[in-house]
Structure 1
Amino acid sequence: MTGARPALDRESAIAAYLKYADRMPGLAPGQLPAETCDVANILAIADQFDLIIFDAFGVLNSGAEAIPGALQAISSLRAQDVELAIITNDASNAPAAIIERHRNRGFDFSLESLVSSAKYIVPMMKRHSDVTRWGVMAPAHWPIDQLPGQAWFLGDDDSDYDTAEGFVLIDSDAWNEKRQRRLETNLANNPRPILVGNPDICAPMGDFLSVESGYFAHLAADACGVMPECVGKPYREVFDDILQRYPDIDPQRVLMVGDTLHTDILGGLAAGIKTLLVTRGGFLDGYDDLAGLYDRAGFWPHFRAPAIGAGLE
């Protein structure tokens, strides 16, 4: 990520998540916790879990820096022999590069502990066997040659859009308003599949929220009436991937930790596992009406903490 992408204010991001909630996984009443329990940090409940899954941005790090206390929390969990994993919607970087960045921050995650939404982009495309020409939203360094059929980067030429039989939105780092207008207009005139490798609407990048490809996918869908198809949180493939690696662990002893209600927490609830929402250093940093947000969303987490390592700094 270069930091060139546009920013989005939090209220607009919340409004977008609420507006597009019907495009995300639904929850049955039995999947909702009875209440949200406030805890000091993740160590206060660690003995209840054998596997803990983390979102990265807003939980482990904000931008390039580790969130205060996160390193100490992970170290303590390691000492308790809790299995740890990461689910990320960062589809723009190779898994090895993602892990290396975490190691540079001081975390000791292994490549085997990571599941990225990028893993499911090609299988999603292959489900559209009748589509062979794809226009792709991604920066120029992205390995587009790994995609099936003919694929090219969407740029400023109308032919990039006219000749595509489908669109894959992976990363918004090189995206801009003019390209978005081209995409929407083209789809309105000729609706085609919209596939999304990163369904996030925004991501915390330190002192701002970057606009992610999920946001642009929903705008494009509004223009043409085509339901976007997504991989990554809150959708099931990434959660099933982790759970299948630990078949002997009871799902009730698995915890999903995230900073965003409609990706991390919704995804964990839909997967049938416990959830912890953190409110400092990520999407909800400084937000003062969580109860109101729960009411508007219609769901809430099992636990809430300021940060995974609050008090451990």
Structure 2
Amino acid sequence: MPAPTVTSAEIFERYEEIRLRLPAAKFPHRSQFIDNLGAITDKIDVFLLDAFGVLNVGEQVIPGAVERLEMLADQGKQIFVLTNGATYNSNQAYQKYRKFGFSLKQRQVISSRDEALLALNDIPDHFTWGVAATDYSAIEELPNRTRLLADDPQAYDAVDGFLFLSSAQWTDKRQQLLTEALQRHPRPFLVGNPDLVAPREEGLTLEPGYFAHAIADETGIEPVFYGKPYAAVFERALRAVDLTGVDRSRIAMVGDTLHTDILGGAAAGLRTVLVTDHGLLKGMNASDLIQRSGIVPDFIAATT
């Protein structure tokens, strides 16, 4: 799609508009300000890290992030990347972070796409999904029959349900075709990335959640979301953690967005860390947004 002109302030307001579709949570009364994650190693044993805005911005690694993760690992901390990125499969995502220089094992990278695909295993084999993705999204790994959604209107009527994984090649025309198809014939509508935007070098790019919520507003059809801030992906992450001797109060979700990372982490009963200097809230008054939204992180860090 063409580079959007949406601003962080507009996206904050949009998240507030769709708040009723997001989970509820309890929050601390106030946040503690810290410089980086190194300041809370005495309080946290497990770090669940968002990717965009915490580890990287687009294809650029956030300065010091590689070294910070190495330091946490040297101290025996458990580290997992918990990403809403659904364009790539788990192996592609893992290779991406290895290329960036992060010393991670594949089991440490947990994506919303993995959770969405797991849900497909409960769907009858004869089901055909219309998939919003890219031609490099490896949709052939899906357990059901698939059809990549493009500009053919007949494709939207020929499938049994829709799975939205990536908006990288999405267009206004395809958005209209999907909206009209659901209006004519309501069907299951699954979304593998609930994010409204992602921070990249050129600014914010619109993500599947942005388009899915627009369709929900117009059609009244509620999508099923997989990924932060929804519970299933946190449950999946916690199953990967060695919880021996670890209380949930010593597990932290680290992210750059209030309405996905912080809200989702708090709803899962975890501590939360908001990173402000690289992602969605860069250049904004985070304290004002926290007060307005009521979404309060345990810690606010300038950087990872």
Q: Contact conserved, 1:131 with 1:165, CA < 8 A, in 2?
A: no
Aligned positions of 1:118-133 closer than 5 A: 118-129=113-124, 132-133=127-128
1:38 to 22, 33, 37: 33
The residue aligned with 2:303 is 307
The residue aligned with 1:272 is 269
The residue aligned with 1:18 is 16
Task: Tell me the distance in 2 between the aligned counterparts of 1:66 and 1:212.
Answer: 20
Give the secondary structure class of the aligned counterpart of 2:29.
Answer: coil
Task: Tell me the distance in 2 between the aligned counterparts of 1:168 and 1:215.
Answer: 14
The residue aligned with 1:257 is 254
The reply on whether 1:296 has 2:292 as its aligned counterpart is yes
**Post-superposition offset of 1:174:** 1.0
Q: Contact conserved, 2:86 with 2:113, CA < 8 A, in 1?
A: yes
Task: Tell me the distance in 2 between the aligned counterparts of 1:107 and 1:151.
Answer: 33
Structure 2 gaps of 5+ residues are none
1:113 to 86, 108, 116: 108
Task: Tell me the distance in 1 between the aligned counterparts of 2:169 and 2:2.
Answer: 7
Identity, in percent, stands at: 38
The residue aligned with 2:91 is 96
Task: Tell me the distance in 1 between the aligned counterparts of 2:239 and 2:145.
Answer: 33
Query: What TM-score do the two structures reach when normalised by structure 2?
Result: 0.93
Cα gap change, 1:177/1:294 in structure 2, threshold over 3 Å: closer, same or farther?
A: same
The reply on whether 1:283 has 2:280 as its aligned counterpart is yes
Give the secondary structure class of the aligned counterpart of 1:47.
Answer: coil
Deviates more, 1:259-268 or 1:70-79: 70-79
Query: What TM-score do the two structures reach when normalised by structure 1?
Result: 0.91
**Post-superposition offset of 1:67:** 0.7
Number of residue equivalences: 301
Task: Tell me the distance in 2 between the aligned counterparts of 1:97 and 1:194.
Answer: 25
Task: Tell me the distance in 2 between the aligned counterparts of 1:49 and 1:162.
Answer: 50
Question: 2:279 is matched by which residue type in structure 1?
Answer: G
1:69 to 22, 40, 64: 64
Task: Tell me the distance in 2 between the aligned counterparts of 1:259 and 1:135.
Answer: 31
The residue aligned with 1:236 is 231
Question: 1:294 is matched by which residue type in structure 2?
Answer: I
- Aligned alpha-carbon RMSD (Å): 1.7
Q: Contact conserved, 1:5 with 1:175, CA < 8 A, in 2?
A: no
Cα gap change, 1:122/1:99 in structure 2, threshold over 3 Å: closer, same or farther?
A: closer
Task: Tell me the distance in 1 between the aligned counterparts of 2:149 and 2:249.
Answer: 43
Q: Contact conserved, 1:132 with 1:148, CA < 8 A, in 2?
A: no
Cα gap change, 1:130/1:99 in structure 2, threshold over 3 Å: closer, same or farther?
A: closer
